[in-house]
């Protein structure tokens, strides 16, 4: 695993990045909109050399005393999944679940590509190329991010349906395919080194759906990032949003050469590639929920409400939500499934149930954290206010006491507000409503992954004293997944 310094230097690779409202970014390492997130990723890499973290982010020593990054394992057993999950849980919590795309997530993308290519069985070379790329990501920590390949809205509004795909092949060369087009929103393209462009891009090649790994600094690539989340310039007021803005964006490609060993032929569904990604995503959601519970517990203490029955009821509600998803994640890992290639994969029946539970619980969890501290959450002072000679004494009287200084209590309140009331939280909440299809998509994934339809139904009917026909409900499970958000251009 490379160091954080190595990663920082790798970002100075000639990439072409724009931030809406701010123009072109000359250096993502130093630009004020991107520097804090670069620093967060640097910390992620450096944890692998930190003795305090190595028990979590590295595997135990093997027979040759070698340790490997736990997040980069090629999982072959439930123990591997459990070790990876423990790593994801710890690292996601450090950012309150806000940093969802890390190099470990990138390795899961590469693992999913290997799985999808194997299922398609286009050629042995495809599998060899996919495994070589996955191994490269695992060995170096190269940062890969994911784009499903969906076209931006303007493309989808074109009159000619044949022109609505995100990408098109310009020409085929000895070196690879030259492609052009525009890819819709995906996460962390400004900080990644490669982007995987998935099957929704609509490019067919040799009877298969072509997907691509494109280097961010490749000639012809432009990254367009959304506006940064609005935040206070004082990190005391914005302790999370000032550090953890992944900057979602689009990718524009103008005759970009993709080498043959980065062209991967898959089915038209992106689900096989996402086999392990959904699991990591639920860890991010769980980290946000655990952070919410932790803040609620801390605020209950700081606000003198630890013995207040109604407050304790709120806390128990949060605990139940957290424990439900923890249990689903544990079942996901201890009751895994195995792919045809022999990889150990999280069980999507448990994962789907956990994802549905989390999506349902999350609005109420945020509401509880806004309710619990009371009006103090709204009027909490900033650091500048606390040292203002005209305000300092009065603010100390208003916010100090009970074992807390005004600064300590205000810092906790600002953290709570930034967690569930900031522009970054609003962005993340809106994004998760459609990032993987929302609750409806997760309900369908549960339909497809639940295995006991016939066993349960027939076990019940056997309790009757009259013969009944065998029940076959396999049609429920095999129903195709509904297309996501189909767009119909308005007529004039």
Which pLDDT tens digit goes with each residue over 251-273?
A: 999 999 999 999 999 999 889 99
pLDDT for position 485: 65
Q: Tell me if 120 sits within 8 A of 267, measured CB to CB.
A: yes
Q: Residue 431 — pLDDT band, cuts 50, 70, 90? A: confident
Residue in 143, 138, 109, 132 with CA at minimum distance from that of residue 260: 132
What is the arithmetic mean of pLDDT over 201-209?
A: 94
How buried is residue 486: exposed, middle or buried, by Cβ count under 10 Å (0-12/13-18/19+)? exposed
What is the arithmetic mean of pLDDT over 436-460?
A: 90
What contacts 83, CB < 8 A, 6 or more positions away? 59, 70, 73
pLDDT of 89 > 80? The answer is yes
pLDDT of 434 > 70? The answer is no
CB atoms < 10 A from the CB of 393, how many?
10
Q: Residue 492 — pLDDT band, cuts 50, 70, 90? A: low
- State pTM to two decimals: 0.94
Q: Residue 404 — pLDDT band, cuts 50, 70, 90? A: very high
pLDDT for position 33: 94
Domains of the chain: 4-68+99-266 (2.40.110.10), 276-444 (1.20.140.10)
pLDDT for position 482: 72
239-to-36, 175, 405 alpha-carbon distances in Å:
11, 47, 18
Helices (H), 383-486: 383-386, 392-399, 406-421, 423-432, 438-449, 453-461, 474-478
pLDDT of 432 > 90? The answer is no
Angle of helix 103-120 versus helix 35-46 axis, rounded to 10: 80
Give CA 164 to chain center in angstroms: 27
pLDDT for position 352: 96
pLDDT of 220 > 90? The answer is yes
**CA atoms of 364 and 295, how far apart (whole Å):** 15
**CA atoms of 358 and 286, how far apart (whole Å):** 8
pLDDT of 163 > 80? The answer is yes
Mean per-residue pLDDT over the chain, rounded? 94
pLDDT of 447 > 70? The answer is yes
What is the arithmetic mean of pLDDT over 424-445?
A: 80
Q: 């810092």: which residue's tokens?
A: 411
Instruction: Identify the DSSP state of 466.
Output: S
pLDDT of 433 > 70? The answer is no
Q: Residue 491 — pLDDT band, cuts 50, 70, 90? A: low
pLDDT for position 161: 87
Q: Residue 427 — pLDDT band, cuts 50, 70, 90? A: confident
Per-residue pLDDT tens for 351-384?
Answer: 999 999 999 999 999 999 999 999 899 999 999 9
Q: Residue 159 — pLDDT band, cuts 50, 70, 90? A: confident
Per-residue pLDDT tens for 288-309?
Answer: 999 999 999 999 999 999 999 9
How buried is residue 246: exposed, middle or buried, by Cβ count under 10 Å (0-12/13-18/19+)? buried
């Amino acid at each position: 695993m490379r160091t954080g310094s190595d990663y920082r230097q790798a970002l100075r690779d000639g990439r072409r990045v724009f931030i809406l409202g701010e123009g072109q970014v000359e250096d993502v390492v130093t630009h004020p909109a991107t520097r804090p997130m670069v620093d967060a990723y640097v910390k992620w890499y450096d944890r692998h050399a930190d003795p305090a973290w190595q028990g979590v982010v590295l595997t135990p020593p093997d027979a040759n005393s070698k340790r490997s990054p736990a997040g980069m394992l090629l999982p072959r057993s439930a123990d591997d999944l459990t070790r990876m999950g423990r790593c994801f849980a710890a690292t996601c919590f450090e950012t309150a679940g806000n940093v969802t795309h890390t190099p470990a997530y990138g390795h899961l993308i590469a693992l999913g590509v290997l799985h999808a290519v194997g299922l398609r069985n286009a050629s042995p070379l495809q599998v060899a190329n996919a495994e070589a790329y996955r191994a490269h990501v695992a060995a170096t920590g190269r940062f890969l991010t994911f784009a499903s390949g969906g076209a931006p809205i303007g493309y989808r509004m074109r009159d000619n349906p044949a022109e609505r795909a995100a990408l098109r092949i310009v020409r085929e060369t000895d070196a690879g395919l030259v492609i052009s087009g525009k890819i819709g929103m995906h996460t962390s393209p400004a900080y990644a080194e490669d982007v995987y462009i998935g099957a929704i891009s609509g490019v067919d090649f040799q009877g298969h759906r072509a997907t691509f790994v494109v280097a961010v600094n490749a000639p012809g690539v432009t990254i367009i990032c959304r506006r940064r989340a609005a935040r206070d310039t004082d990190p005391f007021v914005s302790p999370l949003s000032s550090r953890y803005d992944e900057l979602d964006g689009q990718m524009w490609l103008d005759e970009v050469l993709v080498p043959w060993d980065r062209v991967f032929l898959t089915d038209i569904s992106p689900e096989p590639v996402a086999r392990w990604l959904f699991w990591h995503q639920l860890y991010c959601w769980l980290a946000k929920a655990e952070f919410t519970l932790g803040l609620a517990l801390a605020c209950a203490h700081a606000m003198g409400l630890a013995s207040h029955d109604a407050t304790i009821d709120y806390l128990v509600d949060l605990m139940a939500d957290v424990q439900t998803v923890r249990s689903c994640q544990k079942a996901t890992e201890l009751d895994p499934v195995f792919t045809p290639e022999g990889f150990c994969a999280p069980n999507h029946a448990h994962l789907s149930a956990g994802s549905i539970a989390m999506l349902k619980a999350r609005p109420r969890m945020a509401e509880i954290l806004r309710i619990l501290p009371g009006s103090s959450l709204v009027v909490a002072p900033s650091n500048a206010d606390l040292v203002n000679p005209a305000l300092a004494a009065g603010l100390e009287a208003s916010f100090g006491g009970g074992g807390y200084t005004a600064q300590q209590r205000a810092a906790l309140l600002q953290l709570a507000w930034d967690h569930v009331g900031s522009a970054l939280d609003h962005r993340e909440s809106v994004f998760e409503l459609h990032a993987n299809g929302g609750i409806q998509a997760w309900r369908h994934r549960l339909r497809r992954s639940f295995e006991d339809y016939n066993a349960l139904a027939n076990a019940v009917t056997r309790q009757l004293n009259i013969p009944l026909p065998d029940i076959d409900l396999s049609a429920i499970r095999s129903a195709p997944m509904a297309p996501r958000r189909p767009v119909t251009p308005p007529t004039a």
